[in-house]
Chain A
């Protein structure tokens, strides 16, 4: 009765506080990042998990595994991704890219022994990596605010919505045997993290504030990828401040 009311009121107040903390208000609020409070918290959590688990594992993996083996592993997973890229390129009406991706997948699977060797790149067939988020972008869906996902890291509202579709398109997901599938997920995560160890240390050195640096770089990269699919090539770096032009110097 009164106690239940009190508990309910406390819970509602707590929830309201959490939501308010998540919403950026006040003079520091960044209009491009309305979820900054939540994002920073999640980024901190992800960094914690990374420092505790993923980075040490990836570092050890890199130390004990010779480069050619790691390249082979990267190629196998990238090859699986090429099929989904092909589908998305097709959905974006990028015929040449779709064909390239499809040919890559076939050539690498057959001649590259299950994707181990990137024969297609040697043959000059370019990779056109794509995903459902980019397909949505191509069809006019704006990216929406920056959103940091638990464990998965930087994303946007649009790309988060696209994730379930990407998971369906991910060939690893199609594996029925759950323990094998989970092992492959883990293996892929460790291998990817190992490939990004250099980039990670550049990030640590380059940034004054790792969170906002990561956010700005991620959003620019993503806009760039989306822009490349736009009809007309987007070659001069279309979207938001994309051409690097600055106001004249004032002395």
Chain B
């Protein structure tokens, strides 16, 4: 019994150092993620996505399953999708049950990815993303990041709105060519909720997604 106790004490002392080192390392990683500036984050994400598309022919051909996987893997961890959905749904969100809220998020995400996946097929070797300098105070917790997709033809404006959270900066609104996503869909969703309620909205979204899937997605 005493031997086991000694053994445990020795283990504790030796592994304490290792534990401390591991803890320090683990603490450093999230701290670095939280410290990454919002414009640096957007630049990294944009380049990651561009590289992934350039390296994979099936993505360029519009393989929806792969595009969804790419979005889930690369982009979604940095998006506060719950906030985006809640803002788009509006006052009806608070009346929705947790299951309905979950469904709304899923259907909304499917709608967005299926619809705009077609845009990713336009990426070619000349496509590049220019991130404009961040115009915000260091203490701001809600910032806009402006980027421009350059390549063939006129540059396309692509702006983000990010909020600072414990896990780092998260995207909560998106703007393409001057059109803010959440605001646009808020009008769409409000119309549906006014006529059919939250359940009706979920059904409409599901029906739209089914129809899009039937058409082989947006191409």
The answer to whether B87 touches A246 (Cβ under 8 A) is: yes
The answer to whether B116 touches A202 (Cβ under 8 A) is: yes
The answer to whether A244 touches B219 (Cβ under 8 A) is: no
From known contacts A198-B118, A221-B179, A250-B94, infer whether A216 and B83 are also in contact, taking CB-CB under 8 Å.
no
Give the most central of A216, A223, A246, A249: most B CB within 10 Å: A246
Bound together, the chains give a CA A225 to CA B116 distance in angstroms of 23
Q: Fill in one digit per residue for B200-219: 1 if any A CB lies within 8 Å of its CB, else 0.
A: 00001100100010010111
Q: Counting CB contacts under 8 A, is A51 at the interface?
A: no
Q: How many residues of B contact A (CB 8 A)?
A: 43
Partner of B115, one of A206, A236, A246: A206
Bound together, the chains give a CA A237 to CA B146 distance in angstroms of 10
**Minimum C-beta distance from A150 to chain B (A):** 24
Interface of A is mostly: loop
Bound together, the chains give a CA A244 to CA B157 distance in angstroms of 14
Bound together, the chains give a CA A246 to CA B174 distance in angstroms of 11
Q: Fill in one digit per residue for B83-120: 1 if any A CB lies within 8 Å of its CB, else 0.
A: 10011000000100000000000000001001110110
A-B contact count (CB 8 A): 98
Bound together, the chains give a CA A27 to CA B190 distance in angstroms of 13
Give the most central of A206, A209, A225: most B CB within 10 Å: A206
From known contacts A28-B194, A206-B111, A236-B135, infer whether A201 and B178 are also in contact, taking CB-CB under 8 Å.
no
Q: Counting CB contacts under 8 A, is A241 at the interface?
A: yes
From known contacts A224-B178, A244-B180, A246-B173, infer whether A205 and B212 are also in contact, taking CB-CB under 8 Å.
yes
Partner of B188, one of A202, A208, A225, A250: A208
**Residues on B with beta carbons closer than 8 Å to the beta carbon of A225:** 178
Q: Besides A208-B192, A208-B205, 17 other CB < 8 A contacts? A: A201-B118, A201-B218, A202-B119, A208-B191, A208-B208, A212-B188, A212-B191, A216-B183, A216-B184, A217-B179, A220-B178, A220-B183, A235-B146, A242-B180, A244-B183, A245-B161, A249-B86
Jot down 23 A-B pairs with beta carbons below 8 A, ordered by A: A198-B219, A202-B218, A205-B114, A205-B215, A205-B217, A208-B189, A208-B192, A208-B208, A213-B188, A216-B179, A216-B187, A220-B179, A220-B184, A221-B179, A224-B177, A224-B179, A237-B159, A237-B178, A241-B180, A241-B183, A244-B175, A244-B183, A249-B87
